[in-house]
Amino acid sequence: MQLITAAASPFVRKVRVLIRETGQLEDVQEVFVATAPTAVDPQAKAANPTGRIPALVRPDGPALYDSRVITRYLDARVGAGLYPERDLWDVLTLEATGDEIMNSTVAMSYELRLRPQDKQWDDWVDAQWNKVLGAVTALQSRWMAHLNAPLNMGQISVACALAYIDLRHDQRNWRQGHDTLAAWFAEFSERPSMMETKPE
């Protein structure tokens, strides 16, 4: 199988971390592309009609896309248990919380990096950041027990989302007022799967 990949993408990183945590690195070749909404890579477009990544090209079926579909597929493929039946709806919601942070922070990056400066809209960027802050605050106040539970896909998503804030929006200082979450993230970031997938 081939995973259409970019090192900086937090959605892709979820899948790359899962592959390492579940011992599937030999089965999935990571194909690195450079893609953006304004310059879509042809391999990304061939695998996913919207051109978004990650996409997983399989020899025995259509390519899969959307990180949540791919992570469910790869988890089920080896029975890894990162979506435990007992806590399924909580884990899915925790994963969605990480993904929502990614949606807002990736949108902010596109606005600030791809849009001509005179067309950028500060209020819109601030509104996206407020969504991120709401999610970060909820993670610390409501989700620490799930974050400290045995490894699940929600934790991987949240860690990849927080790492992406550090990569692109570090100056906004999400750690302020979120010491408990920051301590959890520091420890989670030490996992070999996180270290190996850390973007330059």
Ligand X SMILES: N[C@@H](CCC(=O)N[C@@H](CS)C(=O)NCC(=O)O)C(=O)O
Binding-site member from 1, 3, 11, 91 for ligand X (CB under 6 A): 11
Binding-site member from 53, 139, 153, 162 for ligand X (CB under 6 A): 53
Minimum CB separation of residue 15 from ligand X in Å reads 8
Phi, psi of 193 (to 5 degrees): -65, -35
Contact indicator for 26, 13 with CB cutoff of 8 Å: no
Number of residues that bind ligand X (CB under 6 A): 15
Distances 81 to 94, 144, 154, 199 between C-alpha atoms, Å: 15, 20, 12, 27
Where does this chain touch ligand X (CB under 6 A) — which range of 24-32, 60-68, 115-123, 177-185?
A: 60-68
Where does this chain touch ligand X (CB under 6 A) — which range of 31-39, 87-95, 117-125, 177-185?
A: 31-39
Binding-site member from 22, 67, 128, 155 for ligand X (CB under 6 A): 67
Residue count (the chain): 200
Our finding on whether 144 is near ligand X (CB under 6 A) is: no
Enumerate residues 98-127 that contact ligand X by CB under 6 A: 99, 106
Binding-site member from 9, 22, 24, 105 for ligand X (CB under 6 A): 9
Our finding on whether 36 is near ligand X (CB under 6 A) is: yes
Where does this chain touch ligand X (CB under 6 A) — which range of 34-42, 88-96, 121-129, 165-173?
A: 34-42
Distances 91 to 80, 86, 137, 145 between C-alpha atoms, Å: 14, 10, 18, 11
Binding-site member from 7, 31, 40, 112 for ligand X (CB under 6 A): 40
Beta strands in the chain (DSSP E): 2-5, 29-32, 55-58, 61-65
Q: How far apart are CA 71 and CA 189, in angstroms?
A: 19
Q: How far apart are CA 40 and CA 52, in angstroms?
A: 8
